[in-house]
Structure formats: structure tokens, C-alpha cells
Amino acid sequence: MSDTLAGLLQVGALIAALALCWRPLGDYIAHTLTTTKDLKVERGIYRLIGVDSKSDQRWTVYAASVLAFSAVGVVLLYALQRAQDHLPWSLDLPGVDPALAFNTAASFVTNTNWQAYSGEATMGHLVQMAGLAVQNFVSAAVGICVAVALIRGFVRSQSDRLGNFWVDLVRVVVRILLPLSVIAAVLLIGLGVIQNLSSGTDVSTLVGGHQTLPGGPVASQEAIKELGTNGGGFFNANSAHPFESPTPFTNIVENFLLLLIPVAMTRTFGTMVGDRRQGIAVLAVMTTIWGSLVVLVTTLEVNHHGTALQAAGAAMEGKETRFGEWASALFAVSTTGTSTGAVNSFHSSFTGVSGGGLLFNMGLGEVAPGGVGSGLYGMLVLAIMTVFVAGLMVGRTPEYLGKKITSREIKLVSLYILATPLIVLIGTAIAMSFATPRASMLSPGSPHGLSEVLYGFMSAGNNNGSAFAGLSANTTFYNVALATAMLLGRFVPMILVLALAGAFGRQQKVPATQGTLPTHGPLFIGMLTGVVVIVAGLTYFPVLALGPLAEGL
Amino acid sequence: MFSAVARQLLPAFRAMIVMTLLLGLAYPLVLTGFAQVAFSDKADGSLVRQDGKVVGSSLIGQSFDGLPQYFQSRPSAAGDGYDPLASGASNLGPENGDLLAAIEERRTAAAELDGTAPGQVAPDALTASGSGLDPQISPAYAEQQVARVARERGMAAAAVRRLVEEYTDGRSLGFLGEPGVNVLLLNLALDRASGKAD
């Protein structure tokens, strides 16, 4: 079979698998978050937590619950890392340094999973399991909760209540993430991903050298790492590591898992608002952007422009033999489009323009299809902006899903759209202005060096977590600066989305008239795609021109 | 807002404890138990034994530098090469001068070792993998090395080539990923076939 045919079949199989799961999973998520029935185990958890599952929260209380839960998460994860040398299963590793522990705590609580550390050399099994993997679950759940709260804002009429965060959180974990993770982990174990508590096996190699083969509960963590669009690898090499992804089959399973929930959430949205075409329209925009970037990055990698890549004869630097160029490009686009940040190949060694494409994919705000929950609410915010722009053109009060877009809503939307670019660009500018952070570049004084720093802040501000790993980011400056970028990049948009949900919920639904812009047809899909690309393009074009574009030309 | 957050701290703390017990201990430990019972070989890292002694993992590459009787692995950026405690890539960019120099140096060495024209050296012989632990090389790079290995071991090229084919993993399901040759398993089989060749 030719490389091209195999590559195309691989992309086709991924799309087919996602299409098969889209409807049942999307509807199941919608059912989970709308049913009034609690499971017995859930009632037990509510009693332990001490919350009344029947009480509905205003948006402010919902937001306060998100913030309180996340703050506690940061503190506990920080403490666990600092104390790891006093705890079991630590593999005799020392406690993690304060700046790195703070960075990692912020990173995992914000669903970013930026890793300034090397997993096998820093984190013992207990921190991996009881710290990092727990945040993989709950940070993903928080994203879904916020997205669902926004949907409820559209659905409800003249209500200041958005649901109960604690109920949403527990249900998402117990009914969605945990069962799916168990299935995925069992599959990965069967395909060769390791799952043990060994502290490492010393071996004499065939020719008398020495290797220590690491151990760990990898498959259980790998499952939720992808499913929750987290991306933090058990090992430094992430999903390129043969113990995390030993075969092309495990690779496509992981690629599928990281797209699964963000894609299915579009069906959840359509089902909950009672008009499934709305969900399909959003999915169409996501698919268009993801598909275009898959074509672009794959073509560039297969043709491997760039001096060193031409010399080698293939873009195989930083890529695994078993994955090759096609599967690496597919994974790279999927991971940067979903806020996952897991990597099966190293983006820094991709062709210059591919690297720019991946940066741009994150710069879109990770809406193609975006992180679990965050992708959907990010896209809905852009949809509101699109309706507003269209309304300006024809001089009508814009509406979306029966809710008016008034000045309050559009202010919140504008703040949302501005928040992340401000964090990314100001962060990059500060880093480039001082000698110490500049010294962390692997390629100082070149466009690639700027790309390394920009990629770092883009990844942190958008809660992606992948890296142009050439940057030596484990310094006090980057640990603190990027942690700040991650926290602001996660919670400022979330609070704005919840405020928006509150504002919509209070409104009465207005019936659609002949003058209402339909938000499910090809016209709207085209306009929304345009707005997504133009907003990000105008924001990031100058800095992309100085970095990856200058390098690729 | 601050007092609203403060009011939620107690449920937040309790919820995090419950989640930690459920997701941080019960979930991974139950799965570890299951894996150890149902798939213990794979769960322990697909270890490879020779004469009862563990000599590595079939998933983790090893270095055979400077030993022409063995198939060579790809260049590695993991520590000093194939160090499983320091997995990772070079992260050098496509225009990086150091990468270009490394590629040319590897090309000269590989061409000399295998008696290949410098322009014909397989790309994966010139580039470091993503993990630094890549257990495989491409079929093209294996073919490039067949004549040398056969000569060094006094074996027929056809016999070596048969072993290469035996240790070539095709694409998963016929279309996923790329085919590759497992270097450690191949070299072990060579040792068995030619008696210990040292």
C-alpha cells in the first residue's frame, strides 16, 4: 500500500470512528446533565461533600464554586509535590522545587498540562496518580460544567439559575469520564501500554550496556490524559514514548480519545437547545478548520521543506519510525486544536510553516474542536460575535438561539476574545524584553527563537500545554510567568462565560421571525469560520510573521 | 466575589478529597491489579529475556554504536543515547545549523560503515527520534545495513534479510502508521542464528 493511501485511510478511519460515537455519546452527555435522577453512589458523594443536590446556583455562585474547587486543587497539588519525598511510591525522588511545583499545580488544574519537568526524573508514582491524574479528571470535568452552564443560559428563560456546579462535577466524573477512562485504559493495556507500580527494572543490554526501564501506572493516566484533553505525559517524551504509545494502533486510539468528547459536545449542545442543526453547524466549522490544518501540515511535513529536513531526506527529526510523517501531522493538528498538548512527535522540529500552522491553531482559541467544554464555549462565544457582526451589516438587533445580544452580552464577548491574546502577547513581549528569559531560547537571535517563546505563552495562555520544547522553561521566570498565564487564561474566560450565561438566562426567549438570521445554514457556517480565522489572524499575524513565517520563507 | 468563593471552600475541599480517593487511588490501583492479572507481560513493559536474564524491552530501543555485526539503531537524543530515564527529542528546528551539521556527520559515518553512497542513506539514520527510545528503524535503513551485517557475521545476505523480514512490523491493521524493524529483537535473533558473534 502506498504511503499516501495508507495515510488517507488513517485519517478516514479516525473521522469514521468519531462520527459513529458522535450521536450516542453526545446524547448521553446531554442526558447525564439534564436528568433529575441521582445515582446511589452520587447521593453518597453529595452527603460526603455536604451539598444539597437539588439547589440551583446563580452564575456568581456557580463561578465561585469553580474558583474555590480550582484553588483547593492548586494548593493540594502543590503540597503533594513538595512533600513527595515523605510519601510512599516516591521512587526516592526529592520534593519538587517551589516554582516548579507551583507551575505544575497551575498547569494541571487549568487543564493545560504544560510540563516544565521531565516526568520520569521528577514525579513519583503517588504524585502522578493521586495528584496529576486526579486533576486530569476534574479539570476536564470543570470545562464541561462551564460549557453546560452556558447552554443552560440559552435554554432557560427568565431564570437566574444555571444549575449546581457540584452536581454537574460529580455526574461528569462518575458517569462520563471515569467509565470512558476505564474502557480506554483496558484497551491500551491490551495493546501494550504499561501499567505497574515498579520503581524501574535495571537491565544489562544485549551489548553489555546498562538501562533502567521505568515503570508506573501509565495506561490509567494515558486514558484520561487524552480523554480529558489534558496532555501531560507520564514521561518526558509524552505520547512519542513507546511505553505510552507502543504501536500505530495505540497512537490512533489516543488521537481518537483526545477528539472524542470535544466533538460529541456539539451534539450535546444541539440536543440541549432543542435544535440539533445548531450543533451540526458548530461541528461543521470545527471540522472545516481541523481538516484544513490537517491537509496543510501533512502536506508540509511530507514535502519537508527546510534546510536540515531536505538534507535528511524526510521530516523525521523528532518523529518515531512507527508513526512517520502522516500520523505525526494528524496528531499534531488534533492536539493543538483541542488544548490537549500531548505530542507523539516534537513540533519544534516540524517544518517552519507547519510550526506556524500549529501556533495558529492554538491562536484560534482552540476551537477546532477545542478542549473538553472549553472548545464548545469558545466556539459559542465566537458564534455570538458572528451574529453581532451580521446584525451590524443589516441593521437589526442580533439574536442567537432566541436570546438578544445586547450591549452587556457583547461587552462580555469582547472581553473574552481579548483576554487570551493580551495574556499571550504581553507575556511574550515581557519575556523578549529581558536578558534572562531570552537566554532560555535554544535558537537565540533567530525567528525560531521567537517562535519558541511565543509558542510557550500561546500554549500556556490557551491552556494547551504542548511545547516547542527547545525553550528551557524550567526557570523561575518561566515557571511563574507561564503559571500566571495559565491561570488567567483559564479562569478569566470562564468567569466571562458564566457571566454571559447568567445574562442570557435572565432574558426571555424571543421567537424567531422572518428577519432572524438562521444560525444553522451554510451561510452562517461560512461566516463563523471567517470570524474565527479573521479574529485570530488579525491578532496574531504580526508576531507569526516575525517568527515561523520568517523562518519558513 | 471573595466571600462567595470562601463559602464554597469547604465543599471544594471535601470534593477534592473524595475525588482523590476515587480517581487518584481506586481507579489506577484497580486497573493495575487487572493489568497484572490479565496482561502481566505487556503491563510490565514487554520485557525480553535471553537465557532467563532480562536484556531489555521490545518497546525500548538500545544502542549498538561501534558494533558493525549488529544492526544500528537511530540516532538518539535521550541522555547519552537510549537512556530510558531521559526520554526526549533534540528539538532542533528545521533551519538549525547544529542539526544540519549532525545530519552531515551521521551521513558520512553511515555511508562509510555500510558502504552506501552518501546521498542514499536512509532518512531515519540521519535523524533522532521523538522519544530517543525508538525501538525501530525503517525497512530502508535495515536494507542498507544487511550486506554489512552479513559480511561481519559470515552469514548469507539472504539469511540476514529473512530475519529482517521476520522482525518487521507492518502498519497496524495494514494502514495505520509506518512499517518498522525492531532492532533489539532482530539483533537477538542474529546472535542466536550465528552463535554468539563476538
Residue, of A451 and B190, whose pLDDT is higher = B190
Residues in chain A with CB shorter than 8 Å from the CB of B23 are 133-134, 137-138, 173, 178, 224
A435 in B contact zone (CB under 8 Å):
no
Of A274, A296, A327, which residue is a domain's last?
A274
- Using CB atoms, which residue from A63, A195, A252 is nearest to B35? A195
Question: Do A82 and A200 reside in the same domain of the chain?
Answer: yes
User: Could you tell me the three cell numbers for A105?
Assistant: 499545580
Q: What does each C-alpha distance from A223 to A214, A249, A254, B130 come to in angstroms?
A: 19, 14, 8, 21
User: Does A306 map to a domain?
Assistant: no
Distance, in angstroms, between B67 CA and closest chain A CA? 9
- How many CB pairs lie under 8 A apart between chains A and B? 385
A105 and A490 Cβ atoms separated by less than 8 Å: no
Residue, of B25 and A515, whose pLDDT is higher = B25
pLDDT tens-digit series, residues A332-373 = 999 999 988 899 999 989 988 898 889 888 888 889 999 999
Question: Do A264 and A384 reside in the same domain of the chain?
Answer: no
Q: What is the pLDDT of residue A513?
A: 85
User: Does A369 map to a domain?
Assistant: no
Class of residue A52 by CB neighbours under 10 A (exposed 0-12, middle 13-18, buried 19+): exposed
Q: Does residue A495 have a pLDDT over 70?
A: yes
A551 in B contact zone (CB under 8 Å):
yes
Residues in chain A with CB shorter than 8 Å from the CB of B121 are 313
- With pLDDT > 90 as the criterion, what percentage of chain A qualifies? 81
> Which of A174, A206, A344, A495 has the highest number of chain B CBs within 10 A, making it the mutation to test binding with B?
A206
- Banded pLDDT at B198 (limits 50, 70, 90): very low
- Using CB atoms, which residue from A173, A189, A448 is nearest to B39? A189
Of A274, A305, A331, which residue is a domain's last?
A274
C-alpha of B28 from chain center: 26
A161 in B contact zone (CB under 8 Å):
no
- Banded pLDDT at A512 (limits 50, 70, 90): confident
Q: What is the pLDDT of residue A397?
A: 82
Q: Tell me the ipTM for this assembly.
A: 0.96
Q: Does residue A109 have a pLDDT over 90?
A: yes
- Banded pLDDT at A439 (limits 50, 70, 90): confident
Q: What is the pLDDT of residue A548?
A: 81
Residues 122-151 of B with CB under 8 A from A: 122-124, 126-138
Question: Do A270 and A383 reside in the same domain of the chain?
Answer: no
> Which of B18, B19, B57, B187 has the highest number of chain A CBs within 10 A, making it the mutation to test binding with A?
B19
Q: Do A469 and B88 touch (CB under 8 A)?
A: yes
| Mean pLDDT, residues A111-115 taken together | 92
Q: What does each C-alpha distance from A469 to A170, A197, A444, A456, B90 come to in angstroms?
A: 35, 28, 14, 9, 9
In sequence order, the β-bridge partners of residue B53 are B50
**Per-position DSSP letters for B49-67, written without gaps between them:** EETTEEEEETTS----TT-
> Which of A316, A450, A451, A553 has the highest number of chain B CBs within 10 A, making it the mutation to test binding with B?
A316
User: Does A523 map to a domain?
Assistant: yes
Q: List all residues 6 or more positions away from B57 whose beta carbon is below 8 Å from its beta carbon.
A: A203, A213, A242, B45, B46, B47, B48, B135
| Mean pLDDT, residues A192-204 taken together | 95
| Alpha-helical segments (H) within A172-215 | 178-190
- Using CB atoms, which residue from A166, A312, A551 is nearest to B103? A312
A183 in B contact zone (CB under 8 Å):
no
Chain A residue closest in CA terms to B191 = A206
A103 and A482 Cβ atoms separated by less than 8 Å: yes
Chain B residue closest in CA terms to A331 = B177
Residues in chain A with CB shorter than 8 Å from the CB of B41 are none
Residues in chain A with CB shorter than 8 Å from the CB of B26 are none
Distance, in angstroms, between B158 CA and closest chain A CA? 24
Distance, in angstroms, between B38 CA and closest chain A CA? 9
Distance, in angstroms, between B169 CA and closest chain A CA? 9
| Mean pLDDT, residues A395-415 taken together | 93
Distance, in angstroms, between B45 CA and closest chain A CA? 5
Q: What is the largest CA-CA distance in chain B?
A: 81
Scan for cell 443589516, then name that residue: A394
Count of CB atoms situated within 10 Å of the CB of A274: 11
> Which of A43, A251, A321 has the highest number of chain B CBs within 10 A, making it the mutation to test binding with B?
A321
Structural domain total, chain A = 2
Measured distance CA(B184)–CA(B170) in Å, rounded: 17
Q: What is the pLDDT of residue A288?
A: 96
Q: What is the pLDDT of residue A515?
A: 81
Measured distance CA(A8)–CA(A91) in Å, rounded: 43
> Which of B2, B127, B144 has the highest number of chain A CBs within 10 A, making it the mutation to test binding with A?
B127
Q: Does residue A31 have a pLDDT over 50?
A: yes
pLDDT tens-digit series, residues A214-253 = 999 999 999 999 999 999 999 999 999 999 999 999 999 9
Residue, of A296 and A512, whose pLDDT is higher = A296
Q: What is the pLDDT of residue A461?
A: 93
Q: Do A195 and B171 touch (CB under 8 A)?
A: no
Question: Do A396 and A543 reside in the same domain of the chain?
Answer: yes
**Per-position DSSP letters for A420-475, written without gaps between them:** HHHHHHHHHHHHHHSHHHHTT-SSTTSHHHHHHHHHHHHHHHTT-----TTS---S
Residues 298-317 of A with CB under 8 A from B: 305-309, 311-317
User: Does A232 map to a domain?
Assistant: yes
Question: Do A409 and A544 reside in the same domain of the chain?
Answer: yes
- Using CB atoms, which residue from A5, A65, A351 is nearest to B94? A351
- Amino acid making up residue B29: L
User: Does A355 map to a domain?
Assistant: no
Q: Does residue B13 have a pLDDT over 80?
A: yes
Of A232, A254, A274, which residue is a domain's last?
A274
| Mean pLDDT, residues A181-207 taken together | 96
- Residue A212 sits at φ, ψ, to 5 deg, of -110, 110
Residues 235-264 of A with CB under 8 A from B: 235-237, 240-243, 246-249, 251-252
Q: What is the pLDDT of residue B197?
A: 44
Distance, in angstroms, between B150 CA and closest chain A CA? 18
- Residue B64 sits at φ, ψ, to 5 deg, of -125, 30
User: Does A343 map to a domain?
Assistant: no
Distance, in angstroms, between B157 CA and closest chain A CA? 22
| Alpha-helical segments (H) within A123-247 | 125-126, 134-155, 165-171, 178-190, 218-227
Distance, in angstroms, between A24 CA and closest chain B CA? 25
Measured distance CA(B128)–CA(A320) in Å, rounded: 9
Q: Do A209 and B191 touch (CB under 8 A)?
A: no
User: Does A299 map to a domain?
Assistant: no
B101 in A contact zone (CB under 8 Å):
no
- Banded pLDDT at A107 (limits 50, 70, 90): very high
Residues in chain B with CB shorter than 8 Å from the CB of A198 are 44
B108 in A contact zone (CB under 8 Å):
no
Distance, in angstroms, between B183 CA and closest chain A CA? 11
User: Does A154 map to a domain?
Assistant: yes
Q: What is the pLDDT of residue A469?
A: 64
Q: Does residue A172 have a pLDDT over 50?
A: yes
Chain A residue closest in CA terms to B171 = A248
- With pLDDT > 70 as the criterion, what percentage of chain B qualifies? 98
B142 and B148 Cβ atoms separated by less than 8 Å: no
Scan for cell 522540529, then name that residue: A349
Residue numbers of the domain that contains A528: 377-552
User: Could you tell me the three cell numbers for B104?
Assistant: 552531515
pLDDT tens-digit series, residues B23-43 = 999 999 999 999 999 999 999
B71 in A contact zone (CB under 8 Å):
no
